[in-house]
Structure 1
Amino acid sequence: MKKICLLFMLVGIVAVIGACSSEDPTDDTSVNSVDSSTDDLTDDTSDELDTDNGESDSSIYTEEELESDPKAPSSDPNDYNDDGEYVPENGVSDNPADYNANGEYKPVEGMTQEEIEKELESMIGDSINQ
Structure 2
Amino acid sequence: AICAKARNSKEFFDYISSNIGTDTRLLLPRSSVAPETFSAHLKDAGYDVLDWIGYENQAKKVEPTSVSPDDVLLISSSSSAISWAENGLGTPNEVICMGSNTKNTILSLEHFKNCNVSVLEGPTTAYLTQWWNQNRRG
| TM-score normalised over the length of structure 1 | 0.27
| TM-score normalised over the length of structure 2 | 0.26
Question: RCO higher in 1 or 2 (8 Å CA, sep ≥ 6)?
Answer: 2
| Higher Cα radius of gyration | 1
Bigger share in strand: 2
Bigger share in helix: 1
